[in-house]
Chain A
Amino acid sequence: MDHLGEDAELYPLGILDDDEARNVERHVALCSECADRVAQAQSVAGSLAAALTLATPSPALERRLRESARPQLGAAKARAGIFRFALAAAIALAFLGLGWQALVLHEQLKAEDVALVTMVHSHFNHVSMAPESANPVAAKILYARDGSWVYIIADKPGGSLHAIAETATGTVDLGVLTSTGETASLLVHPRKRIRSMVLQRAGTNVASAKLAY
């Protein structure tokens, strides 16, 4: 395996293009020698930051971080209780127009629960996906205002739905929505803020949406 070369020093400066940066990230995951070299370069880059003009963030940033750091998923689920679950479920149902039964019978109730608890702990927006093709699907996207999670919900998917997202740095394959036949959903925590999304069925776009933050 070839080592990284000069890109090891360039990576922490943020000056490589996306492909080069991804190559560095893949390589250091497998090569401890280059990982050490990148870590040393990160230390130098950290020293360069010392000379930047000092700026102080607003108190709002600390509040946002504390909110984002609140226990979620399993820990939150344990203490969430029926009221919190019912509140989140009501929110989701109001958006989708689904009945209680569809939710209760959902085979992926646990995954839904995780998604709902995530919503309870977040500020989020939502957008209806625009239908595409002759056989579109009705779907909505609920997404955190800070872009940290995206929840896609489709009614009567009519087959396997694949979510493809566009971020600032390229296209990301989010995977296939989990389906019960009646509904399909997918909760993701993207690395980059998602700008737009399409749902594909058998390789054909069936819905699309742009996300505004």
Chain B
Amino acid sequence: MDELVEAFAARRPSGLEQVYALWSRLFFSVARHAISDSARAEDCVHDALVRVWRSPNRFAGNREMLKAYLVTCVRNESLAMLRSEGRRDARELKAARLAPVTLVDPPAVDPVETQRLQAALGRLPEEQRKALTLAYYGNKTHIEIAQELNAPLGTIKSRISMAMRKLQTDLASAAGSRS
């Protein structure tokens, strides 16, 4: 097992510290995308990381899988705070509405990966790309997306699911051709 993953899974403080040192800006960027207030966004990062770190048995995998898992945890923590505490104030609603069209705003978390991602998103059918970008960059629920796009909920779920699977194939293929 990867040394970092092993330290994290064993609840060693060094595991949490290394994870934070490597990906703190990624985690915080994910939280800030949902929560406009920096202090609350930091709370989300802290709470998500500490909770996962204290429950190491829930994870087994490589370093990239750990990163993806933690990103999901931070995002879910942030969205839960956003949705449950009635925090959709004017600033956050504005940010949520703007998010799908600010995809290319610099500086991005990972400019190289962003280019690859944009190319892959561009190859998706329009309705799938729209549903996915509203979900991820717009911080909207599937129900909100169905209302906004005036489409049945089942259709929206299918579009997002297909978009995710196509992206996975596309990104994996691009990664394979680079290596």
**CB within 8 Å for A51 and B118 given contacts A6-B157, A6-B161:** yes
Q: Are A147 and B47 interface neighbours, CB within 8 A? A: yes
Pick out which of these stretches binds chain B: A55-63, A79-87, A107-115: A55-63
Q: Are A65 and B67 interface neighbours, CB within 8 A? A: no
Nearest chain A residue, comparing its CB with the CB of B32: A55
| C-alpha gap A119/B46 in the complex (Å) | 18
Nearest chain A residue, comparing its CB with the CB of B112: A50
Nearest chain B residue, comparing its CB with the CB of A53: B105
Q: Are B65 and A42 interface neighbours, CB within 8 A? A: yes
Q: Are B165 and A45 interface neighbours, CB within 8 A? A: no
Q: Are A54 and B25 interface neighbours, CB within 8 A? A: yes
Q: Are B168 and A44 interface neighbours, CB within 8 A? A: yes
Q: Are B110 and A50 interface neighbours, CB within 8 A? A: yes
Say whether chain B's binding surface is mostly helix, strand, loop, or mixed: helix
**CB within 8 Å for A53 and B102 given contacts A10-B160, A42-B65, A71-B13:** yes
Nearest chain B residue, comparing its CB with the CB of A12: B72
Q: Are B46 and A61 interface neighbours, CB within 8 A? A: yes
Q: Are A56 and B25 interface neighbours, CB within 8 A? A: yes
Q: Are B25 and A68 interface neighbours, CB within 8 A? A: no
Contact of B61 among A9, A39, A48 (CB under 8 A): A39
Q: Are B103 and A169 interface neighbours, CB within 8 A? A: no
Q: Cβ of B26 < 8 Å from any Cβ of A?
A: yes
Chain A residue numbers with a CB within 8 Å of B109 are: 49-54
Chain A interfacial residues counted at CB < 8 A = 53
Chain B residue numbers with a CB within 8 Å of A16 are: 141-142
Q: Are A69 and B17 interface neighbours, CB within 8 A? A: yes
Chain A residue numbers with a CB within 8 Å of B168 are: 40-41, 43-44
Interface string of B72-93 (1 = CB under 8 A from A): 1001100111001100000000
Q: How far is the CB of B108 from chain A (nearest CB, A)?
A: 5
Q: Cβ of A191 < 8 Å from any Cβ of B?
A: yes
Q: Cβ of A193 < 8 Å from any Cβ of B?
A: yes
Chain A residue numbers with a CB within 8 Å of B76 are: 14, 21
**CB within 8 Å for A56 and B17 given contacts A39-B65, A49-B71:** no
Chain B residue numbers with a CB within 8 Å of A148 are: 47, 50-51, 54
Interface string of A1-29 (1 = CB under 8 A from B): 00001111111111111000100000000
Q: How far is the CB of A202 from chain B (nearest CB, A)?
A: 31
Nearest chain A residue, comparing its CB with the CB of B113: A50
Q: Are A61 and B161 interface neighbours, CB within 8 A? A: no
| C-alpha gap A66/B15 in the complex (Å) | 11
| C-alpha gap A154/B68 in the complex (Å) | 42
| C-alpha gap A17/B84 in the complex (Å) | 11
Q: How far is the CB of B153 from chain A (nearest CB, A)?
A: 11
Chain B residue numbers with a CB within 8 Å of A41 are: 164, 168
| C-alpha gap A65/B54 in the complex (Å) | 12
Interface residues of chain B, those whose CB is within 8 Å of chain A, are 13, 16-17, 20, 24-30, 32-33, 38, 41-43, 45-47, 49-51, 53-54, 61, 64-65, 67-69, 71-72, 75-76, 79-81, 84-85, 102-105, 107-110, 113-114, 116-118, 132, 135-137, 140-143, 145, 157-158, 160-161, 164-165, 167-168, 171
13 contacts between A and B (CB under 8 A): A7-B157, A15-B135, A42-B72, A45-B71, A49-B26, A51-B110, A52-B30, A53-B102, A53-B107, A54-B25, A61-B28, A65-B20, A146-B50
A sample of 16 more A-B contacts (CB under 8 A), given A9-B160, A146-B50, A168-B84, is A10-B157, A42-B71, A46-B64, A51-B103, A51-B104, A52-B30, A52-B109, A54-B25, A55-B29, A55-B38, A60-B42, A65-B46, A71-B13, A148-B54, A169-B84, A189-B54
User: Which 3 A/B pairs are nearest by Cβ-Cβ distance?
Assistant: A168-B84, A50-B113, A46-B68
